[in-house]
Amino acid sequence: MTENKLPLRASLAASVSRTAAALSRATGRGDGSVIGGRLGMMIDPDLLAHLAAGRRIALVSGTNGKTTTTRFTAAAVGVLGDVATNSFGANMPTGHTSALARAGATPYAVLEVDEHYLAQVLRATTPLVVALLNLSRDQLDRAKEVAMMAQLWRDALADHPDVHVVANADDPMVVYAAAAHAASGEGKVTWFSAGQRWREDAHVCPACGAHIERDETDADAWRCATGDLARPAPQWTVDESAVIDPEGVRHEVKLQLPGKVNVGNAATALAVAHRFGVSPADAAPKLAEVASVAGRYAQVDRDGRNIRLLLAKNPASWLEAFDMAEEQPTLLSINARDPDGFDTSWLFDVDFAPLRGRQVLITGDRAYDLAVRLQVNDVPFTHVKSFDEAVAAVPPGRLEVIANYTAFQDIRAELDRVV
Amino acid sequence: MSSALQIVWVYPDLLSTYGDRGNMLILAHRAKLRGIPVDTLEVRSDQALPYGDIYLIGGGEDGPQALAAQRLAADRGLHRAVDRRAVVFAVCAGYQLLGNSFFAKGAKCDGLGLLDLHSDRGPTRAVGELAGDIDPALGLPMLTGFENHGGRTHLGPEVKPLAKVRAGIGNDGATEGAWSGTVIGTYSHGPALSRNPALADLLLRWATGEESLAAPDDTWHTRLRGERLGAVGLV
Ligand SMILES: [Zn+2]
Distance (Å) from the C-alpha of residue B19 to the closest C-alpha of chain A? 5
Please check whether residue B204 is in contact with residue B164, taking contact to mean a CB–CB distance below 8 angstroms. no
Listed residue (B59, B49, B77, B72) closest to B14, CA to CA: B59
Please check whether residue B200 is in contact with residue B193, taking contact to mean a CB–CB distance below 8 angstroms. yes
Q: What is the mean pLDDT of chain A?
A: 90
Mean pLDDT along residues A6-10 = 74
Q: Mark yes or no for CB contact B220/A200 under 8 Å.
A: no
Strand segments (E) across chain B:
5-10, 38-43, 54-57, 87-91, 101-104, 107-110, 117-134, 143-155, 160-167, 175-180, 183-186
Mean pLDDT along residues B142-171 = 97
Domains contained in chain B, number: 1
pLDDT for A194-222, tens place per residue?
A: 877 788 888 888 898 888 998 877 778 99
The highest-confidence range among A215-219, B101-105, B193-197, by mean pLDDT, is B193-197
CATH of the domain at B190: 3.40.50.880
Quick check: B85 pLDDT over 70?
yes
Neighbours of ion ligand 1 (CB under 5 A): A 205, 207-208, 210, 224, 227, 229
Q: Which residues of A touch B (CB under 8 A)?
A: 137, 140-142, 145, 147, 200, 203-204, 209, 211, 342-349, 368-369, 371-373, 375-377
Q: Mark yes or no for CB contact B19/A349 under 8 Å.
A: yes
- Chain A, chain B: beta-carbon pairs less than 8 Å apart: 77
Mean pLDDT along residues A152-165 = 96
Strand partners, A310: A402
Mean pLDDT along residues A257-266 = 93
Assign domain A299-414 to its CATH superfamily. Answer: Mur ligase, C-terminal domain (3.90.190.20)
Residue B141: what are its φ and ψ, rounded to 5°? -70, 175
pLDDT confidence band for A23 (50 / 70 / 90): low
Q: Mark yes or no for CB contact B194/A372 under 8 Å.
A: yes
Which ranges in chain A are annotated with CATH 3.40.1190.10?
3-287
| Rounded Cα distance, A243 and A248, in Å | 9
Quick check: A144 pLDDT over 70?
no
Q: How far is CA B206 from the centre of its chain?
A: 14
pLDDT of residue A2: 47
- The whole model's pTM is what? 0.85
pLDDT for A268-320, tens place per residue?
A: 999 999 999 999 999 999 999 999 888 888 899 999 999 999 999 888 889 88
ipTM above 0.95, yes or no: yes
More reliable by pLDDT, A401 or A13: A401
Binding-face residues of B in 29-68 toward A, CB within 8 A:
29, 44, 46, 61, 63-64, 67
Q: Mark yes or no for CB contact A200/B25 under 8 Å.
A: no
Task: Give the catalytic positions of B in this structure.
Answer: 92, 189
Mean pLDDT along residues A250-264 = 93
pLDDT of residue B179: 98
More reliable by pLDDT, B79 or A18: B79
Distance (Å) from the C-alpha of residue B77 to the closest C-alpha of chain A? 21
The half-sphere exposure of A316 on its side-chain side, counting CA atoms within 13 A, is 22
Q: Mark yes or no for CB contact A200/B22 under 8 Å.
A: no
Sequence-separated (6 or more) residues with CB below 8 Å from residue A228: A207
Q: Look up the CATH architecture of domain A3-287.
A: 3-Layer(aba) Sandwich (3.40)
| Sign of the torsion formed by the C-alpha atoms of A349, A355, A356 and A362 | negative
Span of A163-167, A323-327, A399-403, B186-190 with lowest mean pLDDT: A323-327
Which ranges in chain A are annotated with CATH 3.90.190.20?
299-414
| Rounded Cα distance, A403 and A412, in Å | 10
Q: Mark yes or no for CB contact B127/A140 under 8 Å.
A: no
Dihedral-angle region of residue B122 (phi above 0 means left; psi in -120 to 50 means alpha; beta otherwise): beta
> What type of residue is B104?
A
pLDDT of residue A418: 64
pLDDT of residue A284: 96
Distance (Å) from the C-alpha of residue B52 to the closest C-alpha of chain A? 22
| Rounded Cα distance, A61 and A86, in Å | 13
Environment class of residue A148 by beta-carbon count within 10 Å: exposed (0-12), middle (13-18) or buried (19+)? Answer: middle
| Rounded Cα distance, B226 and A412, in Å | 29
Chain A contact present for B232, CB below 8 A: no
| Rounded Cα distance, B78 and B94, in Å | 12
**At B27, which helix (H) or strand (E)?**
helix B21-33
